[in-house]
Structure 1
Amino acid sequence: MAKVALITGASRGIGRATARLLGAHGWSVGVNFARDEQAAQETVRQVSQAGGSACAIRGNVADEADVIAMFDVLEGALGRIDALVNNAGIVAPAMPLADMSVTRIKQLFDINILGAYLCAREAARRMSRGRGGAGGLIVNVSSVAARHGGPNEYVDYAGSKGAMDTMTIGLAKELAREGVRVNAVRPGFIDTEIHASGGWPDRAAVLGAQTPIGRSGSADEVAEAIVWLLSDAASYVTAALLDVSGGR
């Protein structure tokens, strides 16, 4: 029987690349999206083309009822969940913290922190052996911004990813004896659409050239790290923060 994964924010970027790669490994994938159903269906098509199966699942990760419903729909359509890729996240236009509105900060924290925690909590409830689950895997998609702080650009975004890192470490220790491994990847300058939403479409290419490796990364390269963490090859890895950042 195929393993089953839920990927939040899987209609584009790292989420889509991970879904496609899991499909190539024979997984069944729940493709979560918030608004763009057409893009989510394109991800479903790519997963199927790669050799897996998939379904699109609408849901706002910052809404508790939506999160519970997402997991219910996934299990009804594809079977018991084996893995969560906690990928959904947003960024806002670059500016110093002193210029940020409370509306902006709250919206970003609702998606990037509350959403990540709600999805991880629901996965923990369903996967934990002590609660009737069969174990499982959680990979959180963080950012090296958690280390660098995002000064003059995204201090709010960087802080939200710092919260995800802390949750990764603590939850991994909570769930280790429950048969659940919890890890995070921390991408650097990755060439995805998220930079355009921050007002600088070429950000990854321009700043990636300044990294030790001399270029930006691709969503597919991050997906490879995520899928490794979801594999049996990483069976002794939990509470790890894996940088995928070209040495930055």
Structure 2
Amino acid sequence: MEPVTVITGGSRGIGAATARRLARAGHHVAFGYRRDHDAAQAVLADIHAAGRRGLAVPADTTDADQVTALFDAAADLGDLTGLVNNAGVTSPIGPFVDLDAGDLRRVVDVNLIGYVLCAQQAARRMSAGGAIVNVSSAAATLGSPGEYVHYAAVKAATDTLTVGLAKELAPRGIRVNAVAPGIIRTDIHAVSGVPDRPDTAAGRIPLGRAGEADEVAAAIAWLLTPDASYTTGTVLRVSGGL
């Protein structure tokens, strides 16, 4: 059976790199995106260039109906074998006491509730051999003091979701893992107000540099392969030593 994978947040950053890598590895890919139609079409073109079928579906993962529509669309590609829960947001970097309540709710809604809604759909549709990969963050264990403690807390919840769901779905032969990237060179830093963070933070990363989206995509891709058949409930850190 040819693998069919759903990726959320697939038009940019880690999601786009993962979509392209999986297509080259033989996956048919349906990915969700929020706004950037041109970026989504560029990723879709690369999926097709790799000889795979693909779908780009506008979807807000905090909306249960839109999540269902994304997975219904993916069913046109075949039976679902994989989910990459990647859609995520941060908020402006700053002290915890200055955190805006609206930003807090947005971070929780996208990074946790969205993951749960997508994982529910995947769990309902997958059979033995299926795999879910949640994109967490090294922040989950570092805490991100002075930056975004609330984001770190939500990513810690992602790790707990991964472990609990892995145990619940294991009897059905479905694996659930996470990757925990460190500081990766994507445009998410611009959204948090510090676009040069990958460069300014390099000095505190043991490997001396920020990571690249392709390096995280490689770990995600491995977790979806039969080579990872005995790996579940694991959070794989891809953080340059942080």
TM normalised by structure 2 equals 0.97
Corresponding letter in the other structure for 1:118: L
5 Å matches for 1:116-135? 116-127=115-126, 133-135=127-129
Cα separation, 2, equivalents of 1:200 and 1:50: 35
Alignment match of 2:149 (pick from 141, 155, 165): 155
Corresponding letter in the other structure for 1:68: T
Aligned length: 242
Cα separation, 1, equivalents of 2:193 and 2:102: 18
Q: What's the CA shift for 1:7?
A: 0.3
3-state SS in 2 of match to 1:209: helix
User: Residue deviations 1:52-71, cap 9 Å, x none?
Assistant: 22110111100011111110
Cα separation, 2, equivalents of 1:177 and 1:135: 11
Cα separation, 2, equivalents of 1:68 and 1:46: 25
Corresponding letter in the other structure for 1:177: P
3-state SS in 2 of match to 1:122: helix
Cα separation, 2, equivalents of 1:126 and 1:209: 44
Cα separation, 2, equivalents of 1:138 and 1:81: 11
3-state SS in 1 of match to 2:145: coil
TM normalised by structure 1 equals 0.95
Cα separation, 1, equivalents of 2:107 and 2:146: 16
Q: What's the CA shift for 1:210?
A: 2.1
Corresponding letter in the other structure for 2:215: E
Identity %: 50
The answer on whether the counterparts of 1:209 and 1:216 sit within 8 Å (CA) in structure 2 is no
Q: CA RMSD in A?
A: 1.0
Corresponding letter in the other structure for 2:90: V
Q: Equivalent residue for 1:130?
A: none
Alignment match of 2:234 (pick from 236, 240, 247): 240
Cα separation, 2, equivalents of 1:29 and 1:151: 37
Corresponding letter in the other structure for 1:140: N
User: Residue deviations 1:174-225, cap 9 Å, x none?
Assistant: 0011110000000001000100101111101221332111111100000000
Q: What's the CA shift for 1:43?
A: 0.8
